């Protein structure tokens, strides 16, 4: 039955009528749909729903650029040391007005280190959030952060009150499952004589389902958009005939590689970690999973906010035979069997990746063992899109376990009082981490979607983020 379904010929929905049907690939069991919001944003499905029902001070547009959210405009003063936002007139999804005092209280909770918000480690420069007038709030920083807006545009920073109310751009009009979402008319764009009732084509039916079901739904012409494709699900596309123009790959910026989860035994020595990183044939490894997947051999993709070019590993000028010979020599010199547990997600792409990783380890004398992503391991996959364009995110995320010198360098970058000092400290931290080797970079994150021609505003972008109100027309 499954094989027959996977042989379905794709039939795209070209006609622009009726609600837009969006499938999101879920990685954790979804909560029962309701009129409120879940505060657990562990997968694409929940993040897309949160972004649809609530917005932050700012949000991302179709291109991954900043656009107004609850704030209609803002200014940045003191060289990125203070952000002043003027709030627009807005209502919660139950019709009650949003106040500046409510927004400030919610933001204070979101940036608290006890909030559970995964972005809080990158919001430590926030010193105060205060109400200036009934329409104006200020975010004061102890250290300048001109890139703060991109963090505030993430779904995790959406303004949701304790009653789980949001302000749109959508509200749930049918709880489902799956829920049906309808745009909340924007009073700023409506003339008094206009009909503010959204057209049926502006509604969104949001479905959270497994990767195979989402792909089959799209291939059968029963959805307009699939969101949340990653490397582990990419090979599923091989079994389905889908128009190549429907497959959209984001130029996602971020980290994809193996974190050194335990720094003991063979991995306690930085030279051994470097030899292990050198042993991988990245191009061949990635080609086994997906064509044209861009490899990476260094931590930073660009200089970003560092005042030096990205550090290049010392082995980069050696050929593969020389690199693997060096790794075999390090393993042999260890004098005892080396076994490494590799933590990876489930899925056919992860199976292919493990085959490549395992073959490389065996080739240099290491016995591999695959374990679940949340199990004790020696090497653990990190697959993450960068939420903002700072080298510190890359350094801190890669440094899940680092030596004291590398950790101290990252902390100096975090606490630097000026932008020039921060750039210099980031460059020093990049050098320290390159020497420490807590992370084995392999590639850029692979993020893909499937989309029909009716969604003319859909754009790939480096955030790999696609707001539901920026799919069809500029007036959504």
- Architecture in CATH of 18-28+42-54+168-187+194-250+447-475: 3-Layer(aba) Sandwich (3.40)
- Architecture in CATH of 254-443: Roll (3.10)
What is the DSSP-derived secondary structure letter of residue 9?
B
Work out the mean pLDDT of the chain and round it to a whole number: 90
Q: 240-291: per-residue pLDDT in tens? A: 989 999 999 999 999 999 999 999 999 999 999 999 999 999 999 999 999 9
Return the domain boundaries, the chain: 18-28+42-54+168-187+194-250+447-475, 56-157, 254-443
How many angstroms separate the CA atoms of 156 and 141, rounded?
A: 20
Q: What angle do CA 18, 465, 211 make, to 5 degrees?
A: 70
How many angstroms separate the CA atoms of 71 and 86, rounded?
A: 5
Q: 344-374: per-residue pLDDT in tens? A: 999 999 999 999 999 999 999 999 999 999 9
Distances (CA, A) of 318 to 275, 290, 325: 12, 25, 11
Q: Give yes or no on whether 18-28+42-54+168-187+194-250+447-475 and 254-443 have one common fold.
A: no
Beta-carbon count within 10 A of 292 CB: 7
| C-alpha atoms less than 13 angstroms from C-alpha of 435 in its C-beta half-sphere | 11
Query: Is 56-157 a domain of CATH 3.40.50.2030?
Result: no
Q: 376-432: per-residue pLDDT in tens? A: 999 999 999 999 999 999 999 999 889 999 999 999 999 999 999 999 999 999 999
Q: What is the pTM of this model?
A: 0.91
How many angstroms separate the CA atoms of 260 and 270, rounded?
A: 11
Reply yes or no on whether the pLDDT at 155 is more than 70: yes
**Span 315-328, average pLDDT:** 97
Element (H, E) at 227: strand 225-229
Weakest mean pLDDT among 4-13, 204-213, 294-303, 434-443? 4-13
How many angstroms separate the CA atoms of 186 and 89, rounded?
A: 10
SS3 helix, strand, coil % of the chain, rounded to 5? 30, 20, 45
In the prediction, which pLDDT does 15 show?
A: 77
What share of the chain has pLDDT > 70, as a percent?
A: 91
In the prediction, which pLDDT does 193 show?
A: 54
In the prediction, which pLDDT does 257 show?
A: 98
Distances (CA, A) of 259 to 330, 367, 399, 415: 19, 18, 8, 25
Q: Assign 1 a pLDDT band (cuts: 50, 70, 90).
A: very low
In the prediction, which pLDDT does 14 show?
A: 59
Reply yes or no on whether the pLDDT at 7 is more than 60: no
Q: Which of 348, 138, 132 is nearest to 233 (CA)?
A: 348
**Span 115-131, average pLDDT:** 95
Tokens 């807006």 correspond to what residue? 149
């Amino acid at each position: 039955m499954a094989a027959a379904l996977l042989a379905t010929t794709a039939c795209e929905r070209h006609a622009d009528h009726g609600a837009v049907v969006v499938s999101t690939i879920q990685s954790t069991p979804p909560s029962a749909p309701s009129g409120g919001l879940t505060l657990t944003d562990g997968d694409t499905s929940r993040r897309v729903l949160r972004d649809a029902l609530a917005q932050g001070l700012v949000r991302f547009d179709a291109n991954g650029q900043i656009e107004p959210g609850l704030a209609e405009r803002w200014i940045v003063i003191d060289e990125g040391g203070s952000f002043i936002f003027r709030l627009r007139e807005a209502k919660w999804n139950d019709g009650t007005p949003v106040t500046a005092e409510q927004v400030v209280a919610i933001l204070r909770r979101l940036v608290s280190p006890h909030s559970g918000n995964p972005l809080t480690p990158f919001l430590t420069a926030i010193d105060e959030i205060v109400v200036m007038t009934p329409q104006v709030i200020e975010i004061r920083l102890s250290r300048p952060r001109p890139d703060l807006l991109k963090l505030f545009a993430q779904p995790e920073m959406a303004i949701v009150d304790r009653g789980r109310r949001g302000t749109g751009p959508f509200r749930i009009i049918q709880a489902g499952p799956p829920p049906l979402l309808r745009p909340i008319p924007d009073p700023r764009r409506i003339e008094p004589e206009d009909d503010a009732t959204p057209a049926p084509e502006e509604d969104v039916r949001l479905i959270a389902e497994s990767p195979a079901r989402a792909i089959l739904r799209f291939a059968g012409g029963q959805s307009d958009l699939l969101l949340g494709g990653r490397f582990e699900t990419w090979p599923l596309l091989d079994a389905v005939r889908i128009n190549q123009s429907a497959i959209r790959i984001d130029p996602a910026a971020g980290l994809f590689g193996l974190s050194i989860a335990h720094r003991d035994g063979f991995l306690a020595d930085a030279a051994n970690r470097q030899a292990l990183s050198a042993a991988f044939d990245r191009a061949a490894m990635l080609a086994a999973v997906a064509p044209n997947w861009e490899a990476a051999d260094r931590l930073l993709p660009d200089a970003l906010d560092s005042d030096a070019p990205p550090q290049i590993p010392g082995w980069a000028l050696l050929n593969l035979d020389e690199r693997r010979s060096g790794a075999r020599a390090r393993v042999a010199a260890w004098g005892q069997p080396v076994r490494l547990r590799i933590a990876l997600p489930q899925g056919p792409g992860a199976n292919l990746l493990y085959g490549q990783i395992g073959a490389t380890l065996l080739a240099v004398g290491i016995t591999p063992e695959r374990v679940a992503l949340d199990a004790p391991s020696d090497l653990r996959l990190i697959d993450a899109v960068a939420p903002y364009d700072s080298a510190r995110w890359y350094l801190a995320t890669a440094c899940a376990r680092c030596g004291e010198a590398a950790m101290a360098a990252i902390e100096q970058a975090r606490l630097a009082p000026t932008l020039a000092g921060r750039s210099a400290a980031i460059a020093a931290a990049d050098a320290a981490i390159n020497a420490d080797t807590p992370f084995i970079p392999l590639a850029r994150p692979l993020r893909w979607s499937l989309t029909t021609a009716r969604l003319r505003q859909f754009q790939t972008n480096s955030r790999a983020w696609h707001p539901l109100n920026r799919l069809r027309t500029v007036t959504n």
